Amino acid sequence: MVQERQPQGGEKRVCWFLKLWSIAVISIIVLSVCFIVSCVVTYHFASDKSNKRLSELQIYHSNLTCFSEGTRVTEKVWGCCPSTWKSFGSSCYFISTEFQVWSTCEQKCVEMGAHLVVINTEAEQNFIVQQLNESFSYFLGLSDPQGNNNWQWIDHTPFEKNVRFWHQNEPNFSAEQCASVVFWKSGGWGWNDVFCDTKRNSICEMKKIYL
């Protein structure tokens, strides 16, 4: 009778090492597949979101102008605005020359997929005023509905935490419940509280589309 050969200690260690190595390789493969699937899903989600936004904008705007804004991994990133709008940062701006009351100005912006402008930084304010005519004032997306000095941005940006560029001694009258940006020789461009039912120009703002 041939006696069965028992595995030696070294062989046992090799087998155990091979098992561990196999488990590690399988784990890496599974994690890699999960990562790739996650990336694909994320890409398609972002792509679908951009396509949906593009479809919405095309309802209001026949032409878009896109600008190269660097790269994301290996792909170029393009920021797009309607062709007649101005591009700055992550937003697009439209300077309306129609004289309307504040509520109508906001409605006109909404009809174009936007809202009255919300100013978040000094750089944004400086860019915007460069596009304006010093002879006119322009409604902002800022109002005080109750006339109690509780100013609110149209997109719910916290007013107290945001920048403010009021002209000196403004706002100064509780019945003037809307804000405009206007050029005064004594102080340059700044904000002023005005009656909401007066007719003025306005500034619309929308987020860029990124492709």
At 93 the three-state DSSP class reads: strand
At 38 the three-state DSSP class reads: helix
Could you tell me if 190 and 94 lie in one domain? yes
74 falls within a domain: no
- The pLDDT score that the predictor gives to residue 39 is 43
Q: Pick from 73, 77, 74: which is nearest to 47 by CA?
A: 77
Could you tell me if 132 and 45 lie in one domain? no
203 falls within a domain: yes
144 falls within a domain: yes
Q: What confidence tens digit (pLDDT) does each residue in 26-36 have?
A: 767 666 554 55
H-run or E-run covering 169 = none
**Residue where the block lists tokens 């109508």:** 104
78 falls within a domain: no
Cα–Cα distance measured from residue 90 to residue 145, given in angstroms and rounded to the nearest whole number? 28
- The pLDDT score that the predictor gives to residue 25 is 65
22 falls within a domain: yes
Cα–Cα distance measured from residue 115 to residue 155, given in angstroms and rounded to the nearest whole number? 8
Task: Give the mean pLDDT per block of 10 residues along the chain (211 residues).
Answer: 53 62 66 50 45 58 77 72 93 96 97 96 97 97 95 93 92 96 96 98 94 79
**Residues in the chain, how many?**
211
Predicted model pTM? 0.71
Could you tell me if 105 and 52 lie in one domain? no
Cα–Cα distance measured from residue 176 to residue 149, given in angstroms and rounded to the nearest whole number? 10
Could you tell me if 110 and 149 lie in one domain? yes
CATH of the domain at 168: 3.10.100.10
Cα–Cα distance measured from residue 68 to residue 170, given in angstroms and rounded to the nearest whole number? 40
Q: What confidence tens digit (pLDDT) does each residue in 120-145 have?
A: 999 999 999 999 999 999 999 999 99
Any alpha helices (H) in 61-121, and if so which ranges?
A: 102-111
Range of the domain at 35: 14-60
Cis-peptide into 171, omega within 30 deg: yes
